[in-house]
Amino acid sequence: MKTILTAIALLWCLAAAPLGAQALPGLGGGSSAPASEPESPDSSSAISISESADQDQAITSRLRAIYSELDGLEPTRVSVESGVVTLSGAVSEASDIDRARQIALRVTGVVAVQNNITRNGDVSQSVAPVMERLTARVQQIVQLLPLLAIALVIIALFWFAGSALARAKPLWKRISPNSFLADLIATTVRLVVILIGLIIALDLLGATTLLGAILGSAGVVGLAIGFAVKDTVDNYVSSLMLSIRQPFRANDHVVIGDREGRVIRLTSRATILMTLDGNHLRIPNNTVFMAEILNFTRNPERRFDFVLGVDADDDPGKAITSGIDRLKSLPFVLADPAPNGRLEEVGDSNIMLRFLGWIDQTQTDWFKARSAAIRAVKITLEEQGFGLPEPIYRLRFDSGSPLEIARNTKPGSAGDGSAAMDKKTLPDPADPDVHEDVSADDEIGEKVQQERQHSQEEDMLDHDRPIE
């Protein structure tokens, strides 16, 4: 009975052999099986063997002959029992272990593969294949040296051609009047020309796939760098927009946000101001682009205003008329637009009046004019008997009745308590001393011009283009 069962099993194995792994349920195929477990072959790429009565011996001979011809697999030992191949031995590289198993799975008649091959720990045998591959690579590089030299020459030629195009400033300024935009176009053209040369060189070397990998990696790296230097990119774009818009000229008196000064220059990174006290101020261009810009220089006519208070008992209309008449008499105050005045506020003990006048900034200094106008109107109001009130305090003593304090009266009237307020002590409005020097003060403007003449720093302000 035992002999009959053995014969039936042998016939079943022979019938199942051409079907490969599909005829043996429970045996997996492919390279994903563990090395220590038998693995069924893939019959789709079978290696034929000669007909032999002894199937196991034929498989053994075939595999030994194959392994003896392949580098690295010579030490592999093969034994076959009932179609199950057992591999053993030690190889120098880990990749040879899986290679031996894949070859065994392709042989016709193999039911499963038991892979017991290990990696050899001998240093000399492990280093030798690496040195062989390194030697082969060096030989390939030596063979490619002529092509590599030609590729380098091509890259150098395109590099010099791109640089020469970028240095053709008149050409790019003819295309774009804006100097900053012209430089950007020149730089872009230079990079495109160099990239074309690099593509041609890599194609000559047969390494165009390397270019794709480089460009893909550059895209990912560029995206990461873009997020990291977002503020720098934002500042660069703002510089470009400011150079196109031209919101101010050199030496313009501007207020950018809460910063005030005269414009020295606009660079690719910052707007440089000289403050009114003579200090340099650099404002990043992204801040300038997003900020509100107040330009005092664009309109030569500028208005000044100030507030003066008169006594609550005085007639505010007459005081306003007197002040306006005095402003009209000042030579530096423009007749058109005419000076004006209005009642600002009525307080507990005074009435606040606001006076307004216009000057020509090209001829008159705004600060000097305002100061002289305040002085002239104050003297006029006092001369005409209007009281400019002072703080009034009432004192009370707990030990007695309240002390009555004389009410502040108009200058020169009875009860004012001081001869110092006599009209004779007031300056005469017609006195030439009242008419102060209000000529335009351009000290800061002169410093700005000196700075622009002596500094070699770039300037993107273009006086030939209109201001936005």
| CA 188/CA 184 separation, integer angstroms | 6
Does residue 37 surpass a pLDDT of 60? no
The predicted structure's pLDDT at residue 404: 57
The predicted structure's pLDDT at residue 256: 93
Provide the CB-side half-sphere exposure for 151 (13 A, CA).
17
Beta carbons of 311 and 350 less than 8 angstroms apart: yes
The predicted structure's pLDDT at residue 370: 93
Tokens of 407: 């009410």
**Per-residue pLDDT tens over the stretch 107-136:** 888 888 888 888 876 656 566 667 777 888
For residue 337, whether the previous peptide bond is cis, meaning omega lies within 30 degrees of 0, is yes
| CA 29/CA 112 separation, integer angstroms | 9
Global pTM? 0.52
| CA dihedral over 87, 88, 92, 97, signed as positive or negative | positive
Tokens of 86: 């057992």
Alpha-carbon separation of residue 390 from 50, 312, 415, 423 (angstroms): 128, 11, 15, 17
Q: Per mean pLDDT, which range of 156-165, 182-191, 296-305 is the poorest?
A: 182-191
The predicted structure's pLDDT at residue 19: 39
- Which residues are within 8 A (CB) of 144 and not within 5 positions of it... i.e. 6 or more apart? 205
Alpha-carbon separation of residue 301 from 213, 248, 317 (angstroms): 63, 17, 27
Beta-sheet pairing, 293-295 with 253-256:
antiparallel
CA angle (432 as vertex; 428, 438 as ends), nearest 5: 120
Does residue 181 surpass a pLDDT of 80? no
Q: Read off the DSSP letter of residue 312.
A: T
Q: Which of 378, 379, 327 is nearest to 357 (CA)?
A: 327
Does residue 277 surpass a pLDDT of 70? yes
Q: How many CB atoms lie within 10 A of CB 269?
A: 16
> Band of the pLDDT at 95, cuts 50, 70, 90?
confident
Strand partners, 259: 256
Alpha-carbon separation of residue 293 from 37, 77, 444 (angstroms): 79, 86, 19
Does residue 150 surpass a pLDDT of 70? yes
The beta strand positions in 10-110, using DSSP E, are: 77-81, 84-88, 90-91
Does residue 429 surpass a pLDDT of 80? no
Helix (H, G, I), strand (E, B) or coil at 465: coil
- Mean pLDDT, residues 149-153 taken together: 88
| CA 272/CA 283 separation, integer angstroms | 6
Does residue 159 surpass a pLDDT of 60? yes
Does residue 163 surpass a pLDDT of 70? yes
Q: Per mean pLDDT, which range of 96-110, 215-229, 407-421 is the poorest?
A: 407-421
Q: Which residue has the higher pLDDT, 260 or 183?
A: 260
| CA 343/CA 68 separation, integer angstroms | 113
Does residue 54 surpass a pLDDT of 80? no
> Band of the pLDDT at 423, cuts 50, 70, 90?
very low
Strand partners, 344: none
State which of 52-61, 207-216, 429-438 shows the largest mean pLDDT: 52-61
| CA 36/CA 52 separation, integer angstroms | 29
Does residue 422 surpass a pLDDT of 50? no
| CA 368/CA 330 separation, integer angstroms | 13
In the chain the domains, ranked by start, together with CATH numbers, are 2-119 (no CATH), 127-228 (no CATH), 301-434 (3.30.70.100)
Helix (H, G, I), strand (E, B) or coil at 188: helix
CA angle (203 as vertex; 201, 206 as ends), nearest 5: 115
The predicted structure's pLDDT at residue 357: 94
Q: Read off the DSSP letter of residue 415.
A: T
Q: Which amino acid is at 426?
A: L
| CA 187/CA 208 separation, integer angstroms | 25
Helix (H, G, I), strand (E, B) or coil at 357: strand
The predicted structure's pLDDT at residue 415: 45
CA angle (463 as vertex; 289, 467 as ends), nearest 5: 45
> Band of the pLDDT at 1, cuts 50, 70, 90?
very low
DSSP H helices in 307-442: 316-329, 366-383
Task: Tell the residue number behind the tokens 């003896």, with chain if given.
Answer: 68
State which of 51-60, 175-184, 187-196, 434-443 shows the largest mean pLDDT: 187-196
The predicted structure's pLDDT at residue 323: 93
| CA 270/CA 182 separation, integer angstroms | 19
Q: What percent of the chain has pLDDT over 90?
A: 18
- Mean pLDDT, residues 347-361 taken together: 89
The predicted structure's pLDDT at residue 379: 93
Helix axes 179-205, 208-228, angle to 10 degrees: 150
> Band of the pLDDT at 334, cuts 50, 70, 90?
very high
- Which residues are within 8 A (CB) of 47 and not within 5 positions of it... i.e. 6 or more apart? 62, 106, 107, 108
Does residue 434 surpass a pLDDT of 80? no
Q: Determine whether 453 is exposed, middle or buried from the number of CB atoms within 10 Å of its CB (0-12, 13-18, 19+).
A: exposed
The mean pLDDT value of the chain amounts to 76
Q: Which residue has the higher pLDDT, 67 or 225?
A: 67
Q: Which amino acid is at 354?
A: R
Does residue 325 surpass a pLDDT of 90? yes
The predicted structure's pLDDT at residue 46: 57
